[in-house]
Structure 1
Amino acid sequence: MSMHKVFWIGFAACAVGAFMTGMPEPDDAGEGGTAPGASLMAAPAPADANDGWGGDDIRLDRRGDGHFYAQPSIGGRQLDVMVDTGASFVALTGEDARAAGIYWSEADVRPVARGASGMVEGVPVMIDRIELGGTEMRDVEAAVIPEGLPVTLLGQSYLRRFDKVEIEGDSMILSRD
């Protein structure tokens, strides 16, 4: 692989990973809307894993591109999302948000974060429910990013609810003590 190609692959990964550094709180008007629900599915950890919350640890495998992905069902629609520990919140592509039944108005688009290439515009929303590996998290901060986001990101507004987010070899393990 040429050095030029390696640079661009690394740059793209960094740009996505550093995409969002913070999101202003949505105002009380509830801009954008609320997702009817979300569900992420992952392979559970071995049966002897006990994370103290009534379920197994959640184990995600690294894909060939070096990133970890999950397959959420949001609003009854199966999606493929990238787990991004560098993203401050869950960021939905416009296409994935529409597929999940999350609607917004172009008039609601506003700056929601600062990314590697400047301000990121989107619509703050709240996802009612995200299920991952048999667990459920409710009221997860998110934003619809109508343009410029190549894949939906599962960021810190979801991940920080776990006590541990660890990488062991080619597996990411999410657990609660």
Structure 2
Amino acid sequence: MKYTPALAFSLALALLSPTLASAQSAVALAGILGGKALLVVNGGAPRGVGTGESHQGVKVLSVGKEEAVVEIDGTRRSLRLGEAPVSVGSASAGKRVVLAADSRGHFINTGQINGQHMQYVVDTGASSVAIGKTDADRMGLKYLQGQPMRLSTANGVAQGWRIRLDSVRIGDVEVFGIDAVVTPQPMPYVLLGNSFLGQFQMTRTNDQMVLEKRN
């Protein structure tokens, strides 16, 4: 297996993160094993799948050095090492996401901000999306052009920046023009607060949360 930091990161997400949605296929490429693609389907265990073979409805069409082309329900998609899972879906695609809580009761998964990969945690107590400076730099967000603001942190008062995100995507659902705050200190996750969550009808039952996009 070709071992890279991206591979280690993908495997960690595959084994620790909850499934995005039971009504759609979420597929990630965790590695290349010989001539086989190491696929993670709906948060399950990685499985080596060769060209022409299928696993849980996902057919591998070709395998390259760092990418694989797959077919799901007649749709071709390219998967690359280290990228967020690709969701291909049902009639509710683009409108509905189902999240499952981890052992601590947190809803953690991967998505995209302005087309760039991010790992988030749902935070219903946060008024807006919050992004650490390290992630903001990696995603190329021009936060220094945003509105300066004072933030209360564990180390006292610090300067943050209020910005507007072009898009936030989780699963097959994408929302545009979302208010966010960039904090001066790094954070382990992007906090998905109410500037994003307010775009959805949110229902929680035990360890499952359903986000249904409002019209």
TM-score where L is the length of structure 1: 0.61
The alignment-based identity, stated in percent, is: 28
Q: Closer, same or farther in 2 for the Cα pair 1:44/1:122, shift >3 Å?
A: same
Which structure 1 residue ranges, 5 or more long, are not aligned?
1-41
What is the CA distance between 1:133 and its match in structure 2?
Answer: 2.3
* Contact map agreement 1:53 1:176 (CA 8 A) in 2: no
The structure whose residues are more often strand, as a share, is 2
The reply to whether residue 63 of structure 1 matches residue 63 of structure 2 is no
Query: Of 71, 74, 84, which aligns to 2:113?
Result: 74
* Contact map agreement 1:127 1:140 (CA 8 A) in 2: yes
1:129 corresponds to which residue?
Answer: 167
Q: Closer, same or farther in 2 for the Cα pair 1:151/1:136, shift >3 Å?
A: closer
Work out the CA distance in 1 between the residues paired with 2:116 and 2:146: 26
* Contact map agreement 1:45 1:56 (CA 8 A) in 2: no
* Contact map agreement 1:90 1:141 (CA 8 A) in 2: yes
Q: Which moved more, 1:99-108 or 1:59-68?
A: 99-108
| 3-state SS in 2 of match to 1:44 | coil
* Contact map agreement 1:124 1:144 (CA 8 A) in 2: yes
Work out the CA distance in 2 between the residues paired with 1:141 and 1:108: 11
* Contact map agreement 1:89 1:142 (CA 8 A) in 2: yes
| 3-state SS in 2 of match to 1:105 | helix
CA RMSD of aligned residues (A): 3.1
Work out the CA distance in 2 between the residues paired with 1:46 and 1:151: 26
1:173 corresponds to which residue?
Answer: 210
Which structure 2 residue ranges, 5 or more long, are not aligned?
1-18, 25-90
The reply to whether residue 142 of structure 1 matches residue 161 of structure 2 is no
Q: Closer, same or farther in 2 for the Cα pair 1:100/1:145, shift >3 Å?
A: same
2:126 corresponds to which residue?
Answer: 87
What is the CA distance between 1:132 and its match in structure 2?
Answer: 2.3
Work out the CA distance in 2 between the residues paired with 1:70 and 1:107: 27
Q: Which of these two proteins has the greater Rg computed from alpha carbons?
A: 2
TM-score where L is the length of structure 2: 0.51
In the alignment, residue 166 of structure 1 is paired with which amino acid? Answer: T
Larger RCO (CA under 8 A, 6+ residues apart)? 1
* Contact map agreement 1:46 1:56 (CA 8 A) in 2: no
* Contact map agreement 1:75 1:101 (CA 8 A) in 2: no
Work out the CA distance in 2 between the residues paired with 1:167 and 1:107: 34
In the alignment, residue 161 of structure 1 is paired with which amino acid? Answer: Q
**Residue correspondences, number:** 130
1:44 corresponds to which residue?
Answer: 21
2:197 corresponds to which residue?
Answer: 159
